[in-house]
């Protein structure tokens, strides 16, 4: 079969072009399995096909996650009972049980196709989006979410890539799930931040409780904790100690600055408030201060800064000019 | 059907086994039609949801396999029909992934384009219409006044030539993909 002349290029061409009939697709899969060399040829042609165009590359999703999502739909109570997480957390079992029963009732509604999904994405700005259930999603820069309009499915599913903050309104009968990479973050009503990077997916929980799961394993992340999924090691875990809440400041506008430089402070404020700050004297960058703000008007924040650092702040539309002597 | 009477649990297991066996192949197939990983996953899940509902009627492996591939095929074609109506669909799908293969993209892409340029004019045109414009074989054949069979042969030829010429690049590319995952 691995004889070069007998390679089924025409069949592969039809397959990759999306022309293959079900029988031909089966033939391709069977051919691949008959010899290891065939698999290699397939991979090469697939890589060639994928790379010719700069668009989405083929990627096999995590099979266990896909199976779990499916089980969730087809038979919640029976399947759920076998999840190890439920044996561990009796309290959660109750919540999931309630959700499962209610879901069972909702299951009779026809499942809508995922066609007309709503999507939002950001470039350098951030974006505040009110979801169909009045939950709040704040997208950090270079991030994207998509979800079904009206959340008509039995779960509120949001697909995320990048980083976003969620303040979820409680609907015990409709679990809220953020799908990010291989990980599912499930909540019933809480506020938390999800951040995806090359090496990890991090979930910082401000209030409430969420469950992070990947395949069959899952962990609970409580308010004040940060759950981490290590992508390379495929491991879930909690970080020790509290996380720095300023990381979520772009969304919450809650800042607790402790002896950090004006340069850093300004960078965070620019994001959270969508303003541009110009430090007229470069030496101002190194001034440090400590202060906390809980969703204060931007004018108030700069008033505190001007008093603390003895500088002058001038507003011009969405620009703020800061002048004064620098610090060493 | 009464063979399975009282064996509901076995049937549940069976569906799961089919999922384990066929998920990858079905997902790849769905992707060739839909060109989107998430949509392909949705399609396979939808098909398995249907199989689950009909699990009492499952009998023999061979027919299930062809049932699954056929169901995925029809589901995807259905989705595609809707996609054509919805322009917004593509509008949001493309940009999200735009930055995805930046690393591998630029250099490999350039080399692949060079080799595509070097194909015979007819071969190049057919490959471009299929790969870049996403046209169906039938559409390409009609456009160029050729038979579908000719399109098929030329596409096969393009892949064969490109694979041979790009063998070295493919090795680097695969190594990169391996490293990435």
Q: Please write the tens of the pLDDT for every residue from A109-166.
A: 444 444 467 888 888 788 888 898 888 899 988 889 988 888 888 888 999 999 999 9
Residues A159-177 as b/e (b if ≥16 CB within 10 A, e otherwise) read bbbbbbbbbbeebeebbbb
pLDDT at A246 > cutoff 80: yes
Q: CA nearest B33 in A: which residue?
A: A18
pLDDT of residue A181: 86
pLDDT of residue A328: 63
User: What is the Cα–Cα distance from A294 to A249, expressed in whole angstroms?
Assistant: 9
pLDDT of residue A99: 61
pLDDT at A76 > cutoff 70: no
Listed range (A19-23, A268-272, B79-83) with the worst mean pLDDT: B79-83
Domains and CATH numbers, chain B: 1-100 (1.10.1740.10), 107-180 (1.10.10.10)
Q: Within the 10-49 window of chain B, which residues sit less than 8 Å (CB to CB) from chain A?
A: 12, 16, 19-20, 23-25, 27-29, 31-39, 41-42, 44-46, 48-49
Pairing of strands A217-222, A226-230: unpaired
Q: Please write the tens of the pLDDT for every residue from A12-45.
A: 999 999 999 999 999 999 998 888 888 888 888 8
Mean pLDDT of A227-249: 84
Q: Which residue has the higher pLDDT, B118 or A72?
A: B118
Mean pLDDT of B96-112: 56
> Which structure tokens are listed for A49?
């096909």
User: What is the Cα–Cα distance from A230 to A125, expressed in whole angstroms?
Assistant: 27
pLDDT of residue A103: 56
Domains and CATH numbers, chain A: 8-54 (no CATH), 118-243 (2.60.120.1440), 253-323 (3.55.50.30)
ipTM: 0.77
pLDDT of residue B91: 44
Residues of A in contact with B38 (CB under 8 A): 61, 159
User: What is the Cα–Cα distance from A204 to A225, expressed in whole angstroms?
Assistant: 6
pLDDT of residue A308: 86
**Percent residues over pLDDT 90 in chain A:** 20
Q: Please write the tens of the pLDDT for every residue from A79-107.
A: 333 445 544 555 555 555 556 555 554 44
Q: CA nearest A120 in B: which residue?
A: B92
Mean pLDDT of A168-189: 85
pLDDT of residue A129: 86
Rg (C-alpha) for chain A, rounded Å, is 25
Could you identify the residue written with the tokens 């199976």?
Answer: A67
User: What is the Cα–Cα distance from A36 to A186, expressed in whole angstroms?
Assistant: 40
pLDDT of residue A296: 85
Q: Of A174, A180, A184, A198, which Cα lies nearest the Cα of A139?
A: A180
- Tell me how far CA of residue A125 lies from CA of A70, A141, A240, A245, B35, in angstroms: 35, 5, 31, 20, 29
Q: Which residue has the higher pLDDT, A168 or A114?
A: A168
pLDDT of residue B75: 93
pLDDT of residue A52: 79
**Percent residues over pLDDT 70 in chain A:** 83
Residues of A in contact with B47 (CB under 8 A): none
Residues A56-80 as b/e (b if ≥16 CB within 10 A, e otherwise) read bbbbebbebbbbbbbbbbbebeebb
Sign of CA dihedral B77, B78, B81, B82: negative
Q: Which band of pLDDT confidence, cut at 50, 70 and 90, is reported for residue B40? A: very high
User: What is the Cα–Cα distance from A23 to B118, expressed in whole angstroms?
Assistant: 33
pLDDT of residue B62: 57
Helices (H), chain B: 8-34, 37-53, 61-85, 87-97, 102-117, 121-131, 137-144, 148-165, 167-180
Could you identify the residue written with the tokens 């044996």?
Answer: A87
- Tell me how far CA of residue A110 lies from CA of A75, A79, A80, A104, B9, in angstroms: 15, 21, 22, 12, 25
Nearest to A74 among B27, B35, B52 (CB): B52
pLDDT at A253 > cutoff 50: yes
CA dihedral A21, A24, A29, A31 (to 10 degrees): -170
């Amino acid at each position: 079969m691995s004889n070069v002349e007998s390679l089924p290029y025409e069949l592969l061409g039809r397959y990759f072009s999306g022309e293959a009939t079900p029988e031909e697709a089966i033939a391709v899969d069977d051919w691949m399995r008959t010899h290891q060399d065939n698999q290699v040829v397939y991979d090469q042609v697939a890589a060639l096909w994928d790379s010719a165009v700069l668009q989405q590359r083929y990627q096999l999703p995590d099979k266990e996650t896909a199976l779990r999502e499916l089980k969730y739909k087809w038979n919640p109570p029976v399947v759920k009972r076998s999840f190890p997480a439920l044996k561990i957390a009796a309290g959660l079992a109750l919540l999931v049980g309630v959700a499962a029963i209610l879901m069972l009732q909702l299951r009779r509604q026809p499942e809508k196709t995922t066609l007309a999904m709503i999507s939002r994405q950001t470039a350098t700005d951030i974006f505040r989006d009110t979801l169909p259930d009045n939950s709040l999603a704040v997208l950090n820069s270079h991030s994207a979410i998509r979800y079904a309009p009206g959340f008509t499915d039995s779960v509120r599913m949001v697909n995320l890539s990048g980083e976003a903050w969620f303040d979820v309104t409680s609907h015990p009968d409709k679990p809220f799930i953020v799908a990010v990479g291989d990980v599912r973050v499930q909540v019933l009503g809480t506020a938390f931040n999800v951040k995806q990077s090359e090496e990890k997916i991090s979930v910082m929980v401000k209030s409430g409780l969420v469950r992070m799961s990947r395949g069959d394993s899952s962990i609970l992340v409580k308010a004040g904790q940060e759950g981490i999924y290590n992508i390379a090691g495929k491991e879930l875990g909690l970080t020790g100690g509290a996380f720095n809440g300023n990381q979520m400041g772009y969304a919450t506008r809650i800042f607790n600055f402790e002896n950090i430089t004006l340069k850093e402070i300004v960078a965070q404020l620019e994001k959270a408030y969508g303003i541009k700050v110009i430090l007229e004297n470069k030496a101002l960058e190194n001034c440090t201060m400590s202060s906390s703000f809980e969703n204060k008007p931007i004018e108030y924040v700069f008033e505190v800064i001007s008093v603390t650092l003895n500088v002058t702040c001038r507003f011009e539309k969405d620009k703020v000019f800061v002048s004064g002597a620098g610090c060493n | 059907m009464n063979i399975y009477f009282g064996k509901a649990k076995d049937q549940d297991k069976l569906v799961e086994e089919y999922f384990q066996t066929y998920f990858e192949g079905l997902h790849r197939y769905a992707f060739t039609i839909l060109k989107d990983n998430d949509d392909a996953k949705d399609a396979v899940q939808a098909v398995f949801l249907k199989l689950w509902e009909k699990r009492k009627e499952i009998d023999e492996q061979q027919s299930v396999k062809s049932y699954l591939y056929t169901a995925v095929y029809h589901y995807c074609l259905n989705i595609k029909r809707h996609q054509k109506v919805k322009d917004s669909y593509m509008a949001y799908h493309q940009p999200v992934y735009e930055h995805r293969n930046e690393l591998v993209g630029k250099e490999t892409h350039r080399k692949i384009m060079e080799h595509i340029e070097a194909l015979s004019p007819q071969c190049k045109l057919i490959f471009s219409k299929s790969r870049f414009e996403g046209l169906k074989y039938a559409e390409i054949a009609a456009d160029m006044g050729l038979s579908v069979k000719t399109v098929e042969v030329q596409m096969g030829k393009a892949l064969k030539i490109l694979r041979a010429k790009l063998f070295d690049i493919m090795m680097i590319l695969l190594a990169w993909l391996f490293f990435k995952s």
